[in-house]
Amino acid sequence: MSMVFKALILGLLFGLFAKEALASNCPSLLDSTQRKLNSNDSVSLCDAYQGKVLLVVNTASQCGFTGQFKELEALHNEFKDQGFSVVGFPSNDFNQDRGSEENTAKVCYLDYGVTFPMMARSSIKGDNANPVFAEMAKQSGVTPKWNFYKYLVGRDGNVVGVFSTGTSPTDAKITSMIKGQL
């Protein structure tokens, strides 16, 4: 066997083992695959967000706080190049989301210009809670009481802060914690 061929085989094996090692070290909060909003495409949260700082938010398209999409987008754009992302999870648990995922997507993408990742509509509390929200509630002891609850997740995949609906995404409490995690 040639040296080039051996090096190629070793490189492929190393790549497979490295990917396997990363997957086995996936924090429980990120250990799921989620469908993207109004799409058949899915994303492995471990592959996409492991090692990043996240602000995870339960959203609703017909809520008095829906205007927070503008601030969430500004926050996302300010820190996205530093290993940060906002991740939105639409929910109708409080009867404030539009009738279909298509309508929810319109509000997010067209009305508010959201570019941060939005996942498919899911429940965020109770027995049918999305596994991400079930784990965040377990870690923090806080279940969303309304739409636009914000969970700050550190690079290690653990919740480091929870902010209620009334806390603006660009509030100094949130931005200073994000900076501290970056």
Question: Out of 26, 46, 63, 108, which one is annotated catalytic?
Answer: 63
Q: Which residues contact 69 (CB under 8 A, 6 or more apart)?
A: 59, 107, 108, 112, 114
Rounded to 5 degrees, φ, ψ at 88 are: -100, 140
The rounded distance, in Å, linking the Cα atoms of 129 and 29 is 13
* Dihedrals phi, psi of 147, to nearest 5 degrees: -70, 155
Q: Is residue 161 within 8 Å of residue 179, measured between CB atoms?
A: no
Indicate if 26 belongs to the active site.
Answer: no
Task: For residues 19 and 13, give the distance between their C-alpha atoms in angstroms, rounded to a whole number.
Answer: 10
Handedness of CA 91, 96, 101, 106 (dihedral sign): negative
CB 182 within 8 A of CB 79: yes
Task: Please identify every residue annotated as catalytic.
Answer: 63
